[in-house]
Amino acid sequence: MSTRRSRTREGVPDAGAAVELARVDIVRSYRWLRGQDFWLLYGAVSAVGFAFVTVFAYSLGHDTGVALAAGETPWFASGGAATVWSVVWLFTAAVVAVDAVGSNGDLDNDGHYLTLRPTADVAAGKVASAAVKFAGFVVLPALGLALGLSVGLGTPAPVLGAFAAATVTVASATAVGYPVGFLLKGVVRRSSVLTRLKPVLGVGVGVAYVAVMLTGEFTTVVEALRPALRAPPLGWLGELSLATTPGVTPDAVGVAGALVPGVALTGVGVLLAAPTARYAWRADRTVSTGDDAGPTTAPDHSVDRLLGAVTRAPATRGVASTALLRVYRSPLQLVFVAFPLLAAIPVGERVLASGTVPWYAPWLAVWYGAWAAGAALPLNPLGNHGSALTSLLTAPADGRHAVHGYVAATAVVAVPVTLTVAVLLAWLSGATTLATASVGVAAAGAVLAASVLAVGVGSLFPRFEAVDFAGSRRAVPPSKVAYGAFSTVLTATVVSVAAVQNALASEVVAVLVSRTLPFGWVVDASSVESAAWVVLVAVALALPLAYQMAVVRLRDYRLS
């Protein structure tokens, strides 16, 4: 009898145990998040974005409610709701699947949970935890939509239908998405090729998603899929969301079709989570994902030869080679400088649409190249070394060698790339030969100046706490103070160079500054140019101070 019961329990989760496991997972996630300022910032940005979505949903609901109260049949009530809720369901299922493929779909404590509870209980706990975590992204906009309908119609009745649709959407989409994610995780873990390509594939999916959103192609995709989105069974969610809205005659088949299959799909998905989780968790990892992964030699002998050509002291070359090797072995460090690249997507779309390069594109390349060069390597010269910091502080190399090494490591990579991209964009934008050459000089000078400035600021405001990315993957970003001070000074410098070199840039800056000044004050282009020269002189005087401060700081720093 006990054997029979254990076999049955292996596939059917215990509800109480699953809820308790979900509660523990949520509490642990909250505690982890409190100590991760990078993810807190990302969460704050995401919250702002979803706040706008909620406001838009309220506006859509209000306009729909007003139209219904006037006896009209608005778009949302005549099929638009089906499209919207279908998109929300598919988006939620996709996000949950990605969450399962990532570290959130892994076992805690090296799988010791499975020695205490059956796989079905642990998998169901993961599904329930994910449903709670992602519920706000669906429920809050849905309530905003319902509130708009209620205000427009003068009755709270629409809230019931919207809340029911949101609940069914979250539950069923999570129950479907997590088994799919578990299945994909198992496939990836059983393939050495997919395991090595997993970070690349993840970045590719993320870039594609952002590109579709920022370029407006998302609406094109939705329009192409509109017939399928409005069809059952996904289209029934629209009927359920408007079931309690006055002025709309709900389809009884659609309402029942959303509720009954939605509940059934949720149950089936929770049951399928057990075998798919077992398939993922019992897979033998083909490669290590720990911090010791990666080569133990320099990334390229030609880099060593190039460093030897630009550095004389072996200590300087050693610091530079080590810095490049760390980035090569731990490219997650580059994530912290990748976000501004999202702004290049609309610019690229404009270039493709118009066939011309705007005049400001070269200066954006100069700014980003210098900023990324400084933020990626020298902006945290003490924190980047981790446990090897004591070796640096006790080595024969002094602070001057360390500063020179960081500047050399940054220059050999960032100067050629930034100069090439900036000059190419200047040439494509139709700039004169002299202006193109000026952009090239500014690109090289900006990268070198940014490196010196970054190592000075970073040595004064170090950071040693790492940020968790996935599993054992961790990286140490620069401190927020260092980021802010360095970014502000560098941006002012690049804008000043552009204003001095390009008359159109000084005029644009004058217009933008005038819009922010109180009491109707205005500035002209000549004033902007004069202020730009003041900034450049101040930066020129500050660079030697930053250099000397970095030398002293790296030479005299002591561990407490």
Is the pLDDT reported for residue 185 higher than 80?
yes
Tell me what pLDDT residue 481 has.
Answer: 84
Among the three residues 252, 281, 310, which one is the final residue of a domain in this structure? 281
Tell me what pLDDT residue 150 has.
Answer: 92
Task: Quote the percentage of the chain above a pLDDT of 90.
Answer: 13
Give the burial string for 544-553 (b: 16+ CB within 10 Å, else e): eebbebbbeb
288 found inside a domain: no
Backbone angles phi, psi at 448, to 5 degrees: -65, -45
Tell me what pLDDT residue 102 has.
Answer: 79
Is the pLDDT reported for residue 13 higher than 60?
yes
Query: 53 and 145: one domain?
Result: yes
Query: 276 and 323: one domain?
Result: no
Query: 231 and 322: one domain?
Result: no
Residue 464 pLDDT grade (very low, low, confident, very high; cuts 50, 70, 90): confident
Is the pLDDT reported for residue 131 higher than 60?
yes
Strands in 485-534 per DSSP E? none
pLDDT mean over 484-501: 85
Query: 360 and 272: one domain?
Result: no
318 found inside a domain: yes
Is the pLDDT reported for residue 309 higher than 70?
no
pLDDT mean over 138-154: 91
CA distances from 373 to 94, 349, 481 (A): 34, 25, 18
Say how far apart CA 485 and CA 202 lie, in whole Å: 31
Say how far apart CA 414 and CA 437 lie, in whole Å: 18
CA distances from 156 to 135, 244, 245, 289 (A): 22, 9, 9, 52
Residue 289 pLDDT grade (very low, low, confident, very high; cuts 50, 70, 90): very low
pLDDT digits 0-9 by tens, 371-404: 888 888 888 877 666 555 555 555 555 677 778 8
Tell me what pLDDT residue 288 has.
Answer: 42
Is the pLDDT reported for residue 48 higher than 80?
no
Tell me what pLDDT residue 300 has.
Answer: 47
Query: 361 and 269: one domain?
Result: no
Is the pLDDT reported for residue 180 higher than 90?
yes
Higher pLDDT, 330 or 84: 84
Query: 497 and 414: one domain?
Result: yes
Tell me what pLDDT residue 163 has.
Answer: 92
Strand pairing of 473-475 and 467-470? Answer: antiparallel
135 found inside a domain: yes
Closest residue by Cα to residue 119 from 163, 201, 179, 194 = 179
Are residues 497 and 442 in contact, defined by beta-carbon separation less than 8 angstroms? yes
pLDDT mean over 258-287: 83
351: how many CB neighbours lie within 10 A of its CB? Answer: 17
Task: Quote the percentage of the chain above a pLDDT of 70.
Answer: 75
pLDDT mean over 177-181: 92
Query: 472 and 330: one domain?
Result: yes
Higher pLDDT, 249 or 6: 249
Say how far apart CA 247 and CA 156 lie, in whole Å: 13
Query: 168 and 39: one domain?
Result: yes
Say how far apart CA 110 and CA 472 lie, in whole Å: 12
> Which residues on neighbouring strands pair with residue 475, listed in sequence order?
467
pLDDT mean over 58-77: 88
pLDDT digits 0-9 by tens, 190-240: 887 777 776 667 767 766 766 666 555 667 777 777 787 787 888 888 889
Helix (H), strand (E), coil (C) string for 318-352: HHHHHHHHHHHHCHHHHHHHCHHHHHHHHHHHHHH
Say how far apart CA 138 and CA 91 lie, in whole Å: 10
Lowest mean pLDDT among 70-74, 329-333, 470-474: 470-474
128: how many CB neighbours lie within 10 A of its CB? Answer: 26
Among the three residues 281, 314, 340, which one is the final residue of a domain in this structure? 281
Q: Which range of residues forms the domain containing residue 399?
A: 302-556
295 found inside a domain: no
290 found inside a domain: no
pLDDT mean over 259-286: 84
Number of domains in the chain: 2
pLDDT digits 0-9 by tens, 348-359: 666 666 667 777
Lowest mean pLDDT among 31-35, 118-122, 281-285, 491-495: 281-285
- At residue 559, the 3 state secondary structure works out as coil
Are residues 132 and 30 in contact, defined by beta-carbon separation less than 8 angstroms? no
* Mean pLDDT, all residues of the chain: 79
Query: 419 and 373: one domain?
Result: yes
Write out the two tokens for 215: 């370029």
Maximum mean pLDDT: which of 73-87, 307-321, 456-470: 73-87
Tell me what pLDDT residue 8 has.
Answer: 42
Is the pLDDT reported for residue 106 higher than 70?
yes
Say how far apart CA 258 and CA 238 lie, in whole Å: 9
Residue 294 pLDDT grade (very low, low, confident, very high; cuts 50, 70, 90): very low
> Which residues on neighbouring strands pair with residue 468, listed in sequence order?
474
End-to-end CA distance of the chain: 63
pLDDT mean over 140-167: 92
Q: DSSP for 200-221? A: HHHHHHHHHHHHHHHTTHHHHH
Query: 478 and 387: one domain?
Result: yes
- At residue 297, the 3 state secondary structure works out as coil
Are residues 126 and 277 in contact, defined by beta-carbon separation less than 8 angstroms? yes
Lowest mean pLDDT among 275-279, 350-354, 543-547: 350-354
Query: 22 and 105: one domain?
Result: yes
pLDDT mean over 398-425: 84
404 found inside a domain: yes
32 found inside a domain: yes
Query: 472 and 395: one domain?
Result: yes
287 found inside a domain: no
Residue 4 pLDDT grade (very low, low, confident, very high; cuts 50, 70, 90): very low
pLDDT mean over 165-169: 93
Are residues 326 and 384 in contact, defined by beta-carbon separation less than 8 angstroms? yes
Higher pLDDT, 127 or 326: 127
